[in-house]
Chain A
């Protein structure tokens, strides 16, 4: 894949030379950058040189995703409207992907020490960086639009389809311009570690939006409405970039060129070129400058004094209350703080919290209509809402062993701790109290609002029962100390197992709970029993010995 891309770039050798670029250096930089991108996210221990092919894998995944986009061509009757949607989806997907997936690749502060002291002229460095981003974006946008391309051939013929690809190319350039603006804006506001933090929140938001859109949109949009949708062209339509490209292609399919169409065409052609010119001329040097400023800041973290204020005391009190010995309490406090700071943790766990609400929304919206809403209130659907939260609990607990910097967990080994089980117990308690419990209470509050306060015992019962199962599952699934493992993106197999575990556990607990609701005061009576089980579960965790711990 890398060689293939390089070969395409080589076709433009002459052009680059004309621009004052040292082509050999350009090719070396691109080759190295692409190779690294290709190896990204795979196990660090892998010794083989080319065991990975991220790029090809991604292309495939996006091509499949693109099929959904492509079907818009036939499911929307109005050509212009259909293509507005297509360009809108593709442009926003690549922009978001860019920010969420490739920030690490782009904001690479190692470049300062590696590339800047070498005799590379500014032009070459700038072009190399832009090409690197452009290659990623094009890879994304082209694989996303393969399906649309095919649909376009069937509907409007080959010539129009080719023009469509050309427009995708231009749209990508324009998106590149927009994302560059975004990055620069962000870097102006914050730098170093803070920037990376913000990007993580961005990723979390993205994950939730994707999941939400995927689940909700099909339910909200009636196929008929979609087919009959028609965007009228108003004066402000000319301000929406996807409309430029859609307008150009729509006019080609009808071969009628009004003034408006020509304006669209002109915007589609010249805006990206102008954007590219602005990037090369103004944005890229600024970007490089900001990047060169970033290095030491990120290696020497900003002086962030953490005030020992009320919240710390609150955590201390909670720790006191919920733990039994000093090791456990220390672990509780440590993990409480660290879980809010470890990027890898936030990045994998926070989306799950969002999903819980997305799924609740899906269930509620799936039943729109007055009559159904009445039924909902009479049903025991609240149980489903409560047990959906198993997802958040499991995700929070099972990910606690992973970290960005697993190496820094050596100190557990160095400390004279008799039973590592205490650390694990303390950390599970911290995680459940910090994330799962508040979330559960929010869901509980919503339920009380819609149903009635008589559900309160159920809320507490479910809180405890989910805690019990999370403790057992965490302790049996992954016997490792908190933040001590490196997460490998290859474990999708074990993700699948986790998914199954979540479903089975939620179903099982929900079923028992459902059974209890048929007995008068059943849930109330079961509560003490559950407390007992909870006690036992932590006993079980605390028994974990050093020899059972993975490193």
Chain B
């Protein structure tokens, strides 16, 4: 399968303004992302991962820099882009007084899918995610993992070419994690691009074709796990993460914390 650039980000800056205070979150991010890859986007809490993803999905529009997705300019052709991307948000944002069937139906309609098609897809997917029994219950009583499954389905239902996922595995049980991982790998094999952020380092290490680490609004490291590992000898991603984000002395901190608790 031939690969080509599907996302290109040039000199991306983003600041949140809240009254007089300005929080510069992204300070010049440059990325080129090829199709058919799984990209693991990692970084400490508050690094700006979710912010990047929201910008790429067209949720946040006041950024600086140039972004092209699928060859189209994000500022001017956002609707065309949105037809071909899927987004799975980090906090379970759902209309939770609806039932999964109603909600997914709604999402399908927004993507202009044909009604019968939506219905059969929803039924199959809910069944595969073991949510069939809850198909007609309101989602406000759902557990975190149950909601997450619905979010995943709602992000994939229209068969997008690029999938943005913010912490997609949070709350899922072990079986669901394995299934979702396989699904992602299969989708990548078919030429789709998956851009996801996560804090679960061993998952990122295993399934990502490429890992991008950001901290303080800039890209700190970028490459396959093997690339990142070439300088040091066979370290886990967890250790690399620690080293690159300049955070060491975890055991001292842990001891310190215990000290505080015990006194």
Please list the residues of chain A having a beta carbon within 8 angstroms of any beta carbon in chain B.
24-25, 28-29, 31-32, 35-36, 39-40, 44-47, 49, 110, 112-121, 191, 292, 296-297, 299, 302
**With A28-B109, A28-B110, A32-B95 in contact, is A117–B138 under 8 Å at CB?**
no
Number of B residues, CB within 8 Å of A: 35
Determine the distance from Cα of A296 to Cα of B16 in the docked complex, in whole angstroms.
Answer: 10
Q: Are A118 and B82 in contact (CB under 8 A)?
A: yes
8 nearest A-B residue pairs (beta carbon): A113-B93, A119-B82, A117-B87, A28-B109, A113-B89, A117-B57, A119-B83, A116-B59
**B97 and A36 form a contact (CB under 8 A):** yes
Residues in B neighbouring A29, C-beta threshold 8 A: 110
Asked whether, in the complex, the Cβ of A117 is within 8 Å of the Cβ of B99, the reply is no
Task: Give CA–CA (A110, B90) in the complex, Å.
Answer: 12
Q: Is the CB of A116 within 8 A of B57?
A: yes
Residues of B contacting A112 in the complex (Cβ-Cβ under 8 angstroms): 59, 93
- Write the residues of chain B forming the contact surface with A, with a CB cutoff of 8 angstroms: 16, 18, 50, 57-61, 79-80, 82-83, 85, 87, 89, 91, 93-95, 97-99, 102-103, 106-107, 109-112, 136-138, 140-141
> B162: shortest Cβ distance to chain A, in Å?
11
Decide: B93 and A302 in contact? CB cutoff 8 A: no
Q: Among B97, B103, B109, which residue has its beta carbon within 8 angstroms of that of A39?
A: B97
A39 to B91, CA, bound (A): 22
Closest residue of chain B to A25, judged by CB?
Answer: B110
| CA of A366 to CA of B243, assembled, Å | 78
In the complex, what distance in Å separates the CA atom of A236 from the CA atom of B93? 49
* Contacts A35-B98, A36-B95, A113-B89; A121 near B79 (Cβ below 8 A): yes
Q: Is the pair B110, A36 in contact by a Cβ cutoff of 8 Å?
A: no
A191 partner residues in chain B, CB cutoff 8 A: 18
CB nearest neighbor in A for B166? A113
A112-B59, A292-B60 are known contacts; what are 15 more A-B pairs with Cβ within 8 Å?
A: A25-B110, A25-B112, A29-B110, A35-B97, A35-B98, A44-B138, A49-B99, A110-B94, A110-B95, A112-B93, A118-B110, A119-B79, A119-B110, A120-B79, A299-B91
Given that A24-B112, A32-B106, A35-B102 are contacting pairs, would A110 and B82 also be in contact in the complex, using a CB cutoff of 8 Å?
no
Taking the closest CB of chain A, its distance from the CB of B73, in whole angstroms, is 15
Chain B residues in 8 Å Cβ range of A45: 141
Contact B98 A32 (CB under 8 A): yes
Chain B, Cβ-Cβ closest to A120: B110
Interface pair B95/A114, CB less than 8 Å apart? yes
Residues on B with C-beta less than 8 A from A35 are: 97-98, 102
Shortest A512–chain B CB gap in Å is 47
CB of A3, distance to nearest CB on chain B (Å): 14
Cα distance A46–B82 when bound, in Å? Answer: 35
Most central of A118, A119, A296 by chain B CB within 10 Å: A118
A110/B93 contact (C-beta < 8 A), A28-B109, A45-B141 known: yes
- For residue B80, which residues in chain A have a CB less than 8 angstroms away from its CB? 119
**Distance, CA A40 to CA B95, complexed state (A):** 11
Bound together, the chains give a CA A35 to CA B61 distance in angstroms of 29
Q: Give the docked Cα–Cα distance between A333 and B111 (Å).
A: 52
Q: Give me 18 A-to-B residue pairs in the complex whose CB atoms sit less than 8 angstroms apart, sorted by A's number.
A: A24-B109, A25-B110, A28-B109, A32-B95, A32-B98, A35-B98, A35-B102, A36-B98, A47-B137, A49-B99, A49-B138, A112-B93, A114-B95, A116-B58, A117-B59, A118-B82, A118-B110, A119-B110
Asked whether A292 lies within 8 Å of B98 as measured between CB atoms, the reply is no
- Given contacts A25-B109, A119-B79, A120-B110, A114 and B94 within 8 Å (CB-CB): yes
Partner of B82, one of A44, A49, A117: A117
Residues of chain A within 8 A of B137, CB atoms compared: 47
- In the complex, what distance in Å separates the CA atom of A35 from the CA atom of B99? 11
Determine the distance from Cα of A46 to Cα of B96 in the docked complex, in whole angstroms: 12
